[in-house]
Amino acid sequence: MGEVIYPDFSRRRTTEQTVNSGKLSLKDAKMILGKLPSVFEKYSFYPDGIVLTDKGPKVAVYVASGEGFNFTGRYFLDNYLHPRIESIGGFVLDPFKLCAEFRDPRIENQNISVSAKKTMEERFGTVVIPTVNYGLSIPRSGLLFAILDGYPVDEGGSSEIAFMATNFGPVVVARSDFRLAESLASGTNWAVRHFATEKYSGGSYHEDPNTDLAYLKALRATKQIIDRKLEKWFADTAKWQM
């Protein structure tokens, strides 16, 4: 394991102002974090969410959910959802893994005071998360795939849905939870659901209680978006080479 580099907490205000305005440059992100997330060091990201990999161009898919907070959710992401997204031409951007590269390992030290741990958590929440997720990853994604299982739905994921749909591109949502929200017609708050529509973001919402059909439908919709973006990429590339 190499040298641990901690985010520059003194630049928090500048970070928030820059992130609020949209995409954060790699140079600014590196200045704030001390280093870039490894995925942004290794791969080249182009407009419309295109990522050039050793297996050819892919479309960056930011996966928004609360699943990464527990073992069962993590297992689901790693063994069900992420492989399926990758199999249809997607390049998964997992915020849990991206941000984990900058989590201060000292937080696990039982000899550190509560106030010191609180400061570390504040640094993580006000510097790392907005820089990595909202400044770098979401703005460079071709689409956002959101999991809204759970009741109530994950707050972070809900915020990211609105951020992506309003500023950058399509949102595809899957929900298999049978619990309803405040309406007999939906398992999700209508305000959150609004952003995952063809009319608003070019995305779609898929709800199918107690089955995997919601995910299968959402993956089908995701593939259609990926196919369109890759088709445009190859067409544009052919024009550049003429």
Residues 176-196: tens digit of each pLDDT: 998 888 887 888 888 888 999
SS3 147: strand
State the amino acid at position 189 in one-letter form.
N
Q: What per-residue confidence (pLDDT) applies to 22?
A: 62
**β-bridge pairing 50-53 and 56-64:** antiparallel
Q: What per-residue confidence (pLDDT) applies to 115?
A: 83
Do 126 and 163 form a contact (C-beta atoms < 8 A)?
Answer: no
Q: Give me the DSSP letters along 157-173.
A: HHHHHHHHHHHT--EEE
The lowest-confidence range among 32-36, 111-115, 132-136, 215-219 is: 111-115
Residue 57 to residue 50: CA distance in whole angstroms: 6
Residue 203 has phi, psi (to 5 degrees) of -105, -155
Q: Does residue 6 carry a pLDDT above 90?
A: no
Domain boundaries, the chain: 9-236
Q: What is the mean pLDDT of residues 38-62?
A: 96
Give pairs for 34-38: CB < 8 Å, separation 24+.
34/5, 34/6, 34/7, 34/8, 35/5, 36/136, 37/98, 37/101, 37/102, 37/132, 37/136, 37/137, 38/101
Q: What per-residue confidence (pLDDT) applies to 237?
A: 87
Q: What per-residue confidence (pLDDT) applies to 242?
A: 64
The yes/no answer on whether domain 9-236 falls in CATH 3.40.50.450 is yes
Q: Which two tokens stand for residue 93?
A: 């951007």
Q: Does residue 103 carry a pLDDT above 70?
A: yes
pTM score above 0.85: yes
240 vs 231: which has the higher pLDDT: 231
